[in-house]
Structure 1
Amino acid sequence: MTLKYTDYIEKRVQGTFNFPIAYYRENPQSPRYYMPYHWHPHYEIIRIIEGSFNLTLDNETKRYKAGDIIMVTGGVIHGGEPEDCIYECIVFDFDMLLKNNHACAAKIQQIISGKIRIHTLLSEKSSRIPAIVASLCQVLSEKKEGYEFMTQGYLYLLIGTVIKEKLYEESAYSAVTIERLNSLKSIVDYISDHYSENISLEKLARIAGMNPKYFCRYFRRLTGRTPIDYLNYYRIESACEMLSTRNITIKETAMNCGFSDESYFVKTFKKYKNTTPKQYTRKEF
């Protein structure tokens, strides 16, 4: 979940060129705890350790709980809000499993191309998956000598289990659904790039190719927020990361996050975080 969650993940390098996989562990004190809507070409595994997570994948929102293992398909827009949650994320490039592996290439290509889609809640019908993912997370968190070999071994074991237990289905997205989801991706990309600027509802609607009234209903149906509510939410999440990682004043943070008025920034911050920026900074440090 990269996850510099307040940057859309496709802009970040996952791991290294030769080992394109990244691991993250988040808790309520992490500056990247919340997950604004984003997408990336890589696959992502989310493991819920404690609490719950209201997660939206494309146009469907579900509440996931401790013990759940979630597979996010590459290209799927996703995001949501954890509740008293500790969770781990593994983001990886499926191409790494193709290198010099002719025996598995055909099936992996089907996964990459979207011809088959791995089930979202992998732990629902498999007793083996949770243990495999737990071991994978442990190896990636410890990074002991030889972990690169073990990481790839666990990934092959995971995908092999998915294939053996038929935890996948053929893709069933319609052209209309894909077009609408792509329009939403263009919006979250635009907000990611321009959240520090003055953005209007009309501007976002034009980018989506919809009239403002319909766009507002459409966006809320997919994300649970109005476009402007989401924009402010994204700005405040960005502000939290700035306050946590930079030597920056509250006024500078407000300006960098698209707020021309510091008092309005403080008011908005308190609305989303139930605390002021000053109190948040003291808590962080």
Structure 2
Amino acid sequence: MQIKDFKIDQSLKELTEHRTVVLPIACYETTINQNINGFIPLHWHDEIQFVLIIKGEAIFQINEEKAEVREGEGIFINSGCLHMAEEKNLSGCVYICLNVSPHFVLSQELYTTYVNPYIQATNLSYLHLNTKELWEKNILDAIIKINQLIQQKPPYYEIDITVQLTFIWQNLIVNGFKLEYEQTEMLKNHRMKQMLNWIHLHYAEKIMLDDIAKAGQLSRSECCRYFKRMLKKTPLNYVTDFRIQKSLVLLLQPDSNVTDVAYQVGFNSTSYFIDKFRKSINMTPLAYKKYKNG
């Protein structure tokens, strides 16, 4: 099951329940360009994420860093990290995505020692996994096994999944990472989420730069620096892009019209909305509506 339009709350936290019926785990294949946006938009979740590319290649952004991941390679994305993904070179990228609640990785007795220090560390936002080292290959192989177990559901498959997860985590931590806990990094991440949270609550209203900066308890110039560093765009450009993202879902409703949608997502001019939409999506809102509704 691919999630094509996953729900995120005001702070970009993904609201999709990452679990099978009995396990706090989800594993599914994702085709990046089938997402309603044509890419996987910026979001975060408490679950840790393991990705294995099975076709094409992708560019992942995790917090402020970017990683190009090719077919056969993977990536580990830590709990609470902002991330997004787009395919590279129109490669039709498909990946297996494994999301796991950190508390399910190891038993509660081992969690405090062997899981919590790793998900709190500020220098472990992600790991690029290729097959150069045995531990990386072990993790990628285990992702495939878990995906097969969830699809085939052989007897006692839930126990087999927990065995594979323990194996994944052991291979991840056995490499002696020197963990760091920088208060400034934690604060930066927190402030960024606060600002995004505020935008996602108020995107339909008039938004000024001062409002966004205030939400992150920053000056206007610091606020701009945060957005430039993390998202490579200005705060108000981000607002425009987010409004357009929101408009995509509304335009798919049969009785929607372009003017109403423009005002619903916070634009106070239909022509300005059409202009920005065309620049972002490469077609007008009306053309998009017709194209998507066939």
- Is TM-score (shorter-chain normalized) higher than 0.5? yes
CA distance change for structure 1 residues 218 and 228 in 2, over 3 Å: closer, same or farther?
Answer: same
Flag the 1:198–1:9 CA change in 2: closer, same or farther, 3 A. Answer: same
Q: Following the alignment from structure 2 to structure 1, what is the Cα–Cα distance between the partners of residues 38 and 162?
A: 27
Which position in structure 1 is the counterpart of 2:44? 39
Q: Compute the displacement of 1:43 (Å).
A: 1.0
1:57 aligns with 2:62: yes
Taking only the aligned residue pairs, the percentage that are identical comes to 24
User: Residue 270 of structure 1 aligns with which residue?
Assistant: 278
Residue number among 124, 127, 131 corresponding to 1:120 in the alignment: 127
Distance 1:206 1:115 in 2: 25
Secondary structure (helix, strand or coil) at the match of 1:222 reads helix
Equivalence for 1:111: 118
**Structure 2 residue 224 is the aligned partner of structure 1 residue 216:** yes
Instruction: Indicate how the Cα distance of structure 1 residues 243 and 132 shifts in structure 2: closer, same or farther if over 3 A, else same.
Output: farther
Q: Secondary structure at the match of 1:155?
A: helix
Shift of 1:221: 1.6
Structure 2 stretches lacking a partner, 5+ long: none
Are 1:151 and 2:161 counterparts? yes
Correspondent of 1:30 among 26, 29, 35: 35
Inter-partner Cα distance in structure 2 for 1:284 and 1:162: 42
Matched, 1:137 2:147: yes
Q: CA deviation at 1:72?
A: 1.0
Distance 1:29 1:21 in 2: 22
How many residue pairs align between the two structures? 280
Partner secondary structure for residue 193 of structure 1: helix
TM-score (norm 2): 0.80
Question: CA, structure 1 residues 230+82, in 2 after alignment: closer, same or farther (shift >3 Å)?
Answer: farther
Report the Cα offset of residue 174 of structure 1: 1.9
Query: CA 1:111 to 1:35, structure 2 compared with 1: closer, same or farther past 3 Å?
Result: same
Question: Post-superposition shift, 1:41?
Answer: 1.8
Deviation at 1:259, TM superposition (A): 1.9
The answer to whether the Cα contact below 8 Å between 1:44 and 1:89 also exists between their aligned partners in 2 is yes
SS at match of 1:28: helix
Separation (CA, whole Å) in 2 of partners of 1:113 and 1:62 = 21
Structure 1 unpaired stretches of 5+: none
Counterpart pick for 2:170 among 154, 160, 185: 160
Q: Distance in 1 between matches of 2:123 and 2:221?
A: 36
The letter of the residue matching 1:21 is: I
Confirm or deny: 8 A CA contact 1:6 1:192 kept in the other structure. no
For the Cα contact (< 8 Å) 2:98–2:143, is it kept in 1? no
The RMSD of aligned alpha carbons is 3.1
Post-superposition CA distance 1:19-46 (Å, at most 9, x none): 2223341331321542333222221223
Residue 4 of structure 1 corresponds to: 6
Distance 1:264 1:10, change over 3 A: same
| Shift in alpha-carbon separation, 1:254–1:153, aligned structure 2, 3 A | farther
Aligned to 1:86: 94
